[in-house]
Amino acid sequence: MTEQFDIAIIGAGPGGYSTALRAAQLGNTVALIERDPTPGGTCLNRGCIPTKTLLDATATFDAIKHTSTIGIHAHTDPIDFPALHQWREHIVSTMTTGLSSLLARRGVTVFRATAALGEPHDPTGMQQRAIRLTPSPGQNDVLRINTQDSTPQGASLTINAANVVLAMGSRPRPLPGIPFHNAIIDSTQALQRDFPTSATIIGAGAVAVEFASIWNSAGCNVTLIIRKNCVLSAWDRRASTTLTRELAKRGITIITNATVTRIDSPSPREATVHYRTKGSDEDQSLQTQVVLGAIGRDPNTSEGWIDASGIALDAQGHVVTDEFGRTSANGVWAVGDITAGHALAHRAFAQGITVAERIAGLNPKPVDEYTIPQVVFSRPQAACVGYTGAQAKASGRFLDITETAYPMMGNARMLMSGSAGAMTVVSGEDTDNPGTRVLLGVHMAGPEATELIAEAEQLVGNHVPLSEAARLIHPHPTFSEAFGEALLKADGRPLHTR
């Protein structure tokens, strides 16, 4: 007999497992289907968690190397790569084991399998979707995952669900016409290797600058090749320019306004990158041990069953949804990286909760892309939420838009850190509420930016009037005090600045 569920979720990354946890909490029977040996998707297994573990570790190594500036003379041995990788795997294992236990406690049924969505049918008066499960690569059977072990279910299993949530995630995008091979690697492969002695990174986004920071701190000779004149080029200009300058000060070579024309890689430990800069007709080249392609990610939506199920995709292969996650196919929803927008775990969490509550008949608000913080764990860090000045002006929703820049070097903790930074506050009046200035966006680069942005998200997301936000008290001396001073300046009441 075919097993019935209220909700079946394909993919156990942040979007999938957050949907499962909230749906089970609301009393639904839930099946969660994942191809990988452990839940958590890219984020827990080969993305956010392992990369930030390496960033923390190399930050310690980097700090020790620079203590002589403040009169502390310390020396270190070379990095013990086996021990470092063991630590990274311990962190990942702890997180995925904890997630598995939580899913079990919530009563979520987990299958390790590859899933394909079948045609809708109506066996009991309620329209159902059949989901056919087949073994994941390397398995002989579909596995039902229990707390302590797994139970084989045979070479094929079909389950039914009234609602299906797609959460298949994304994969690294190869360079145009240059597949990943030999020394040309993606971010997943970069985590599996020892740190190179020289590396060329192609890209200017979060993955590119985070790996540049990791490898640079570990003593690697790092070159960034970027298409425009600064990293994070879609961000606020001050934040992206400051981060570009600081990366260069730390010894990272940044080749701007450049396009890669070809890469020769005869072995896994050597490559020659050929590139051309803007205004030049001749290629230049550089030798490197490894090339990391970090130009973005593509949604995992190329399976034939997606088209056959009537699920509409956009030109980039993202699943088209309404503001609540509904797709063009009845009873089918989508969350996470397979939908257009910020490819971030915390966005997927919010989408999963919204979808689960919508299916349960609740009335949640849709996820607002402009209240999703973007964070980059480079050195220094960068973070932003809300509108840039240009975006606010282009939206047509706001009046009297102002960009207020705060001089971060006026903050005592910034001086102590030895790093530079940038802070921009965007404010204006909403056309629906003229006469009241609100916080529209916050953009920053500097130490602890990824933590400071949480306060900014609350103010932007809750449309707090600027005058009220500026009255909030920030402890002294802290990095957060810089944000408080920026709010005062934006409100026309600067304290330590003009």
Q: Are residues 453 and 389 in the same domain?
A: yes
CATH of the domain at 305: 3.50.50.60
204 inside domain: yes
Q: Are residues 21 and 109 in the same domain?
A: yes
459 inside domain: yes
Q: What is the pLDDT of residue 221?
A: 97
140 inside domain: yes
Tell me if 308 is assigned to a ligand binding site: no
In angstroms, rounded to a whole number, what is the distance separating the alpha carbons of residues 291 and 310? 39
Tell me if 204 is assigned to a ligand binding site: yes
Query: Which is the catalytic residue, given 73, 90, 476, 496?
Result: 476
Q: What is the pLDDT of residue 355?
A: 98
Tell me if 209 is assigned to a ligand binding site: yes
Tell me if 92 is assigned to a ligand binding site: no
Q: Which residue has the tokens 């090749």?
A: 225
Tell me if 31 is assigned to a ligand binding site: no
235 inside domain: yes
pLDDT tens for the chain, 498 residues long, are: 689 999 999 999 999 999 999 999 999 999 999 999 999 999 999 999 999 999 999 988 888 877 778 888 888 888 888 899 999 999 999 999 999 999 999 999 999 999 999 877 765 555 789 999 999 999 999 999 986 678 999 999 999 999 999 999 999 999 999 999 999 999 999 999 899 999 999 999 999 999 999 999 999 999 999 999 999 999 999 999 999 999 999 999 999 999 999 999 999 999 999 999 999 999 999 999 999 999 999 999 999 999 999 999 999 999 999 999 999 999 999 999 999 999 999 999 999 999 999 999 999 999 999 999 999 999 999 999 999 999 999 999 999 999 999 999 889 999 998 889 999 999 999 988 889 999 999 999 999 999 999 999 999 999 999 999 999 999 999 999 999 999 999 999 988 887
Tell me if 52 is assigned to a ligand binding site: yes
Tell me if 322 is assigned to a ligand binding site: no
Q: Are residues 164 and 244 in the same domain?
A: no
Q: Are residues 394 and 463 in the same domain?
A: yes
Tell me if 376 is assigned to a ligand binding site: no
Tell me if 15 is assigned to a ligand binding site: no
Number of domains into which the chain is organized: 3
Q: What is the pLDDT of residue 104?
A: 95
Sign of the CA dihedral running 410, 416, 418, 423: negative
Q: Are residues 184 and 99 in the same domain?
A: no
Residue 270 is part of which domain span? 173-295
In angstroms, rounded to a whole number, what is the distance separating the alpha carbons of residues 274 and 67? 38
Closest CA to 168 of 302, 44, 290, 37: 302
Count Cβ neighbours within 10 Å for each residue of 417-433 and write b for 16 or more, e otherwise. Answer: bebbbbbbbbbbbeeee
Complete edge-to-edge strand list for the sheet that includes strand 270-277: 258-267, 270-277, 284-288
Q: What is the pLDDT of residue 136?
A: 95
In the annotation, is 476 catalytic?
yes
Q: What is the pLDDT of residue 60?
A: 86
CATH of the domain at 401: 3.30.390.30
Bridge partners (DSSP) of residue 319 are: 313, 339
Q: Are residues 328 and 428 in the same domain?
A: no
